[in-house]
Amino acid sequence: MIPVSQRWLLGSILVAAAVAPIAGRIDSYVLDVLLGATINITLAVSLNLINGFTGQFSLGHAGFMAVGAYASALLTVAYGKSFGSLLGNQPFLMLPVALLAGGLAAAVSGLLVGAPSLRLRGDYLAIVTLGFGEIIKVILQNVPLLGGALGLNGIPTPINRGWAEPVLFFNLATACITIYGVWALVDSTFGRGFIAVADDEVATEAMGINTTRYKIQAFVVGAFFAGVAGGLYAHLKGSLSPTGFDFNRSIEIVVMVILGGMGRHIGVIAAAILLTVVQEPLRKLGDWRMILYALLLIGLMLTRPQGLFTLPLRRRTAPAN
């Protein structure tokens, strides 16, 4: 018998498969916003595992996203010919393999950054992850294989190569898998350890829990999904430039998590959708948008520090099944 939660996951992936064929027929602008929203859901939900549930303030999510984006694009562009022929030039095979590669590359970088720096707390960890994001950007700008400052172009997308259906399907599926993954991870006796780490590290260690191991696991899993999201982003935009993964991008994801309520499932998903949609009419404002973000964040902290979509009192009870 399949557990109820997994039936939900399978069901939603089937829905994604049923919805995917509309990708070629709907307006490309609408498709663009839809894909942007699902990518943001994946990013925000995965960051929520690190910043929300485990309480480790990371500002490096755009960095992990960049690693995943470039790694997956390398496969479909730079090594596109041999990679494509290996998989029979089937986008429905090429894309998931490329995404997985992006996720794994990001997870490895998450391990490399996390293992030494997760001994640090609060502000210090934030600074290290911020530094990581900047280092990634500089590396990308200076490696010729990755296109340097010009960036990487010619990535297959819904527009240029008719990858609409696979891109939409794997966007939706990734968002579903990420939501399920983070939920399932936290909703267990094992997973309550993440929340315990966020609450009180000394007390958590006194319960026989290796806090470092939990923090690294959160970091690696979070980075993995950020990497997959990066791969999806690459195959939505068609070109990558190092500046697309700067500090502002990390902040955007952090805002989604805080707006939705740190360590809340539904709220963070809602915030990711809301901020993606709200961004569209604000595009004319250009960089002024970030000021709006800052004001939003300050207002939120003053009025609803628990998150916009969170009821003041929450209840966590026994496992459902």
Partner 1 sequence: MSTTASQSPLLELDQVTIRFGGLTAVSEVSATVGDQELVGLIGPNGAGKTTMFNLITGVYQPTGGSIRFGRQPTGGLRPYRLTEMGIARTFQNIRLFPSLSVFDNVRVAFHLHLDHDALHSLTRGPKFRGEENRIRDQTRELLAIFNLERFEGAPSRSLSYGDQRRLEIVRALATRPRLLLLDEPAAGMNPSEKVDLMRLIQFVREKFRLSILLVEHDMKVVMGICQRIHVLEYGRKIAEGTPEQIRSNPAVIAAYLGEERTAA
Contacts to partner 1 by CB under 8 A? 3, 5-6, 181, 184-185, 187-193, 195-196, 198-200, 202-211, 217, 221, 263, 313-319, 321
3-state SS string for 90-106: CHHHHHHHHHHHHHHHH
CB of 297 to partner 1, least distance (A): 22
Residue placing its CB nearer to partner 1 in the complex, 187 or 246: 187
DSSP 1-31: ---HHHHHHHHHHHHHHHHGGGGGTS-HHHH
CB of 194 to partner 1, least distance (A): 10
Q: Least distance from C-beta 177 to partner 1, angstroms?
A: 10
Query: CA–CA separation, 159 vs 319, rounded Å?
Result: 45
Q: Which residue, 130 or 185, is less far from partner 1 as judged by CB? A: 185
- Residue 57 gets which letter from DSSP? -
Start-to-end C-alpha separation, the chain: 12
* Least gap, CB of 173 to partner 1 (angstroms): 16
Nearer to partner 1 by Cβ, of 266 and 278: the residue is 266
- Write down the least CB distance from residue 201 to partner 1, Å: 10
- Nearest to partner 1 of 145, 318 (CB atom): 318
Closer of 17 and 207 to partner 1 (Cβ)? 207
Minimum separation from the CB atom of position 230 to partner 1 (A): 22
Looking at beta carbons only, is 72 or 217 nearer to partner 1?
Answer: 217
CA distance 172 to 175: 5
16-20: Cβ within 8 A, 24+ apart? 16/168, 16/169, 16/172, 16/173, 16/176, 17/169, 19/168, 19/169, 19/172, 20/165, 20/166, 20/168, 20/169, 20/172
What span, in angstroms and rounded, lies between the C-alpha atoms of 182 and 57?
A: 17
